[in-house]
Amino acid sequence: MTAPIKIAPSILSADFGRLTEEIAAIGRGGADLVHVDVMDGHFVPNLTIGPMIVKVAKAASDTPLDVHLMISNAERYLRDYIEAGADILTVHAEGVTHLHGAIQQIRALGAKACVALNPGTGFEAVDCLLEDLDMVLVMTVNPGFGGQSFIESCLPKIERLREAAVARGLDLDIEVDGGVKVDNVHRVASAGANVIVSGSGVFKSDDYAKTISELRQRGKRPAMYI
Ligand code: DX5
Ligand code: ZN
């Protein structure tokens, strides 16, 4: 028996000149979530989009938006992104001073709350918050750019998170983001991840629906993780 996984293509690798068509296409292709990367040129060395484009993305399909904030002072902007249409809102453990307060605020504003961990940040940063979270995002590249190589040494952190969630009886989603493609998705899924972000893996492929389906097939994981 296997447990289902969710596929979240990152629009960072989409054609922004045809953004709404690209979002509609991954929705038709079976994406479970639209992963939206927000960067401020400060927390990460790249600058992408703000709430106005999140609003455009929201209107482009019925697929829920998974908004990943890679910005400094994220707590100042939570309302803006949720009002723009974020269904899941992710803040970085490294970018927020009062992490517990930010999570409470996200939930009070009606979105699901997720905390992201950079490759250099340990499991301990979210250990005492797991009961308050809907999802933890494990970065498997240093955030800032699409198309980077998967960092192998992040795998034990995924295992440790899943073990903790199972031991504590938590219905916790574990998302993996960075360098995940059809050829390595089984590794993150067998470590315990159930939400797969793939940017260049999906948008640089010829057939989005086929790639999404292959990611789902190859990412089947043991039912013990349900
Ligand atoms: C990186 C972003 C990722 C990125 C993933 O900072 O958070 O979501 O778009 O892209 P790929 O799958 O190409 O590594
Ligand atoms: Zn991301």
* Cα 108 to averaged position of ligand 2 atoms, centre (Å): 23
The closest-lying atom of ligand 1 relative to the alpha carbon of residue 147 is: 13
User: Which domains, from first to last, does the chain contain?
Assistant: 6-225 (3.20.20.70)
User: What distance in angstroms lies between residue 67's CA and the mean position of ligand 1's atoms?
Assistant: 12
What confidence score (pLDDT) does residue 143 get? 98
Active site residue 134: no
pLDDT tens string, the chain, 226 residues long: the values are: 456 899 999 999 999 999 999 999 999 999 999 999 999 999 999 999 999 999 999 999 999 999 999 999 999 999 999 999 999 999 999 999 999 999 999 999 999 999 999 999 999 999 999 999 999 999 999 999 999 999 999 999 999 999 999 999 999 999 999 999 999 999 999 999 999 999 999 999 999 999 999 999 999 866 555 4
| pLDDT (0 to 100) of residue 226 | 47
Q: Is 119 in the pocket of ligand 1 (CB under 6 A)?
A: no
pLDDT at 220: 87
Residue 167: predicted pLDDT: 97
Does the CB atom of residue 178 touch ligand 1 within 6 A? Answer: yes
Structure confidence at residue 225 (pLDDT) = 53
**Residue 143 Cα: closest atom of ligand 1:** 6
Count Cβ atoms within 10 A of the Cβ of residue 184 and give its class: 0-12 exposed, 13-18 middle, 19 or more buried. Answer: middle
User: Which candidate in 32, 37, 66, 134 is catalytic?
Assistant: 37
* Whole-prediction pTM: 0.97
Examine the residue annotation and report whether 171 is marked as an active-site residue of this protein.
no
